[in-house]
Amino acid sequence: MTTAPRRIDVHQHLIPSLYRDALAASGITEAGGRALPDWSPEAALESMDLLGTETAILSVSTPGTGFLTDPDEAAGLARRLNDHCAELTAQHPARFGWFATLPMPDVAASAREAGRALAELGADGVTLLANNRGAYLGAEGQDALWEVLDEHGAVVFVHPAELPAPAVDGILPFAADFLLDTTRAAYLLVRNGVPRRYPNIRFILSHGGGFVPYASHRMAVAIAGDIGRGPHDVLDDFRGFHFDTALSSSPAALPTLLAFARPGHVLFGSDWPFAPAAAGQYFAAGLDSGVDPDTLATINRTAAEALFPRLAGSRPAPPEPRPLAVRLRRSVRRAGARAVFKLIQPGSD
């Protein structure tokens, strides 16, 4: 009998009806070039059970509240979303956590909502899109927000948005542009010294950090030449980020990520429901078969426990009884995902 990995998923999204309705009222039916998927707490728990995930830290994906140009409307939607997430987590404390939504690019309103969510609602951290209507994280004028987040020792989940430029026909934004968007934000955060000035903030970069691990040395040389800092210091700042494995634990990407990131700075992520269950299983199978047991245990859980102490040492949630047919179907789906992953690895033909 195998032991469930008890993963902590730091990259899982929710799309409650109040948010879907707000998007629909503005004519928005997709994100990143993909139609908004169905979501419910029950479906989330089903997906988590399939991947061996004990707890998921939920977040609202792009476009956040940035599609609302009225600052009061954006702030109001962020408040409602955060109240909803707090209630959902209270109903399932062992299974869900949440990152607060902030009404960026309004820095003052975001600082206020961050303080409320972290101090009053018990948020596990905050979500920040890499860019908000073209304003990137790390740009000038954001110190009021960084000060609040630093004061609370907050975890900041950095998620990509669509680039502030016309989309290229034939390129789905989530497939390539999202990776560049995350990389741009990481670059500007490091270039402008945000992690050094606010050392209590812990940043998680989505999707393996975009292009950061792969291009880190090139970017460090560029920043060093631009502002006169030593390239090794710049690299150290890039390595100070945390990274999730959502859609990134392939035989090509995972070795680069693990070679670059500091030990304990890689965390499990699924990107469900925007990444369908089959994709989640595929990349989870790549993770399960691609690293040694100690590293796997750290990625699955220990690294997240260090960021979210309330989850450290928590007892496994008691499994809900499932019909035999459901258990067999899950076993078949897991086995199928492992087989597909092995089939398409380089050198397998």
- pLDDT tens over the chain, length 349 residues: 357 799 999 999 999 999 999 999 999 999 999 999 999 999 999 999 999 999 999 999 999 999 999 999 999 999 999 999 999 999 999 999 999 999 999 999 999 999 999 999 999 999 999 999 999 999 999 999 999 999 999 999 999 999 999 989 999 999 999 999 999 999 999 999 999 999 999 999 999 999 999 999 999 999 999 999 999 999 999 999 999 999 999 999 999 999 999 999 999 999 999 999 999 999 999 999 989 999 999 999 999 999 999 999 766 655 555 555 444 455 545 554 444 444 445 554 4
Domain boundaries, the chain: 7-343
Contact between residue 275 and residue 39 where contact means Cβ atoms under 8 Å apart? no
Spatial neighbors of 6 by CB under 8 A, at least 6 apart, are 52, 54, 300, 301, 316
The pLDDT of residue 315? 63
Exposure string (b/e) for 77-92, b if CB count within 10 Å is 16 or more? bbbbbbebbbebbeee
CA nearest 156: which of 109, 101, 193? 101
The CA-based angle 278-207-319, given to 5 degrees, is: 50
pTM: 0.90
Pairing of the two strands 155-159 and 135-136: unpaired
Check: CB of residue 243 under 8 Å from CB of residue 209.
yes
pLDDT, position 167: 87
Q: What is the pLDDT of residue 318?
A: 53
| Euclidean distance between CA atoms 330 and 319, whole angstroms | 14
Closest CA to 130 of 209, 239, 35: 209
Which segments within the chain are labelled E, that is strand? 7-13, 30-31, 34-35, 53-59, 96-101, 125-129, 131-132, 135-136, 155-159, 202-205, 242-244, 266-267
DSSP code string of 258-318: HHHSPTT-EE----TTTS-HHHHHHHHHHHHHHS-HHHHHIIIIIHHHHH-GGGTTPPPPP
Q: Say what the pLDDT of residue 206 is.
A: 98
pLDDT at site 290: 87
Cα–Cα distance for residue pair 75/81, rounded to 1 Å: 10
267 forms beta bridges with 244
Distances (CA, A) of 292 to 26, 255, 261, 299, 338: 47, 12, 16, 11, 17
Separation between Cα atoms, residue 281 and residue 239, nearest integer Å = 28
What tokens does 47 get? 């997906």
Q: Exposed, middle or buried: residue 226 (CB in 10 Å: 0-12, 13-18, 19+)?
A: exposed
One of 2.30.30.100, 2.60.34.10, 3.20.20.140, 3.40.50.300 is the CATH number of 7-343, namely 3.20.20.140
Strand partners, 125: 99
Supply the pLDDT for residue 340: 44
| Contact criterion met (CB below 8 Å) for 231 and 325 | no
Amino acid identity of residue 259, one-letter, is A
Q: Is there a contact between 241 and 203 (Cβ–Cβ < 8 Å)? A: yes
Q: What CA–CA distance (Å, rounded) separates 112 from 98?
A: 18
pLDDT for 314 equals 65
